[in-house]
Amino acid sequence: MPLSTKIMVIGVADFAIDHPKDVDDIPVYTYVFPESANAGFKSYAVAGEILPFYIKHIGPYSYKKLANVQSKTIFGGMENAGTIFYFEDSPESKGIEELMAHEIAHQWFGDSASETDFHHLWLSEGFATYLTHYYLENKYGIDTLKKRLSDDRTLVIKFEKKRYTPVVDTTIKANYMPLLNPNSYQKAGWFLHMLRRKLGDGAFWKGINTYYLKYQNSNANTTDFREVMEQISGQDLKAFFKQWLNTAGHPDIAVSWKYDTKTHVVDLKVDQKQKVPYVFPLEVAIDGKTYTVNMTAPSATMHIAAGKKTPVIEVDPNVNLLAGFTVTGN
């Protein structure tokens, strides 16, 4: 089976070994240091839930086993094919489930379907980031997804002030380590979330499955992924991909509203403050009912009937847009 050299590994130590279950005849193993056996056998066992979830929602697993190994590593985890390494204190970590969900997702994207070169690293890290969100959304509910996306949005906007580059960053020619940044992880994960909302769950997940099966045990770039998603959805996605992956920055939105107590109408105005306008749907909830402003220009207005009392206005209530917001109104 073809493997990238970056995901080949040999681990040698005095391990305590557990075999908590098999998933579709794929053995799931735990390898931890003997002193971590009690905690590690318990915490690492969640891999037995994660593996079948991804098989169901993405496609077949490419390797003969899934071994989760306590190790010494400079990363929180390293997605070696079939034998994932986790940091030394991971058996006691409160975040072990999300870490394992991320690294196990890499077995599909990054390991089996790998990027053609490091400029397309988001096809590994963005996928693992968003699939972790998706796994946790399914296990714990939509509010967990919203919270994780909100935290990621804050991180992306903060990082942008330090390094103003697109997700597909071709400026780095030699040392690729700087590409391991919030653009490749969190912003790329946000891109996948917005693509999911744009296409709908049916077309999006069918596209992910089709892309994986086409490039399983092979390599792909961003264009390859776009072409698959266009084929499945029947939509032209060139502008969407260019806007979110090949353009630095994000929409910076100012929302202002006024409520007319006589007519009970909300006058809503949306302005994009960044230099180049984006195209996107903006959701606004008024007294719990959601309306969509389709932004195709620097500014847009809407007039919406509200109740007889001062309405409650919430911008992006479902956390579906990667943007900065300021909201003013009366």
User: What is d(CA 121, CA 183) in angstroms, rounded to the nearest whole number?
Assistant: 10
Q: Which residues contact 292 (CB under 8 A, 6 or more apart)?
A: 281, 282, 283, 284
Burial (CB count <10 Å: 0-12, 13-18, 19+), residue 198: middle
| Domain limits, the chain | 5-107, 115-245, 252-329
Check: CB of residue 167 under 8 Å from CB of residue 188: yes
User: What is d(CA 264, CA 244) in angstroms, rounded to the nearest whole number?
Assistant: 37
Q: How many residues does the chain have?
A: 330
Whole-number pLDDT of residue 10: 83
Q: Please list the residues that pair with 70 across neighbouring strands.
A: 86
Architecture of the domain made up of 115-245: Orthogonal Bundle (1.10)
330 residues of the chain, pLDDT tens digit each: 678 888 888 878 899 999 999 999 999 999 999 999 999 999 999 999 999 999 999 999 999 999 999 998 888 999 999 999 999 999 999 999 999 999 999 999 999 999 999 999 999 999 999 999 999 999 999 999 999 999 999 999 999 999 999 999 998 888 888 899 999 999 999 999 999 999 999 999 999 999 999 999 999 999 999 999 999 999 999 999 999 999 999 999 999 999 998 999 999 999 999 999 999 999 999 999 999 999 999 999 999 999 888 889 999 999 999 999 999 987
Residue 28's SS3 state is: strand
In this structure, the number of other CB atoms found within 10 A of the CB of residue 191 comes to 21
Chain Cα centroid distance, residue 269: 30
Chain Cα centroid distance, residue 141: 16
Classify domain 5-107 at the CATH class level: alpha beta
CATH H-level, domain 252-329: superfamily = Aminopeptidase N, middle-beta domain (2.60.40.1840)
Whole-number pLDDT of residue 329: 85
| N-to-C CA span, the chain | 63
5-107 and 252-329 in the same fold: no
Whole-number pLDDT of residue 291: 95
DSSP string computed for 58-72: T----SS-EEEEE--
- Per DSSP bridges, beta strands 83-86 and 66-70 are parallel
Check: CB of residue 166 under 8 Å from CB of residue 246: yes
- Per DSSP bridges, beta strands 313-315 and 299-305 are unpaired
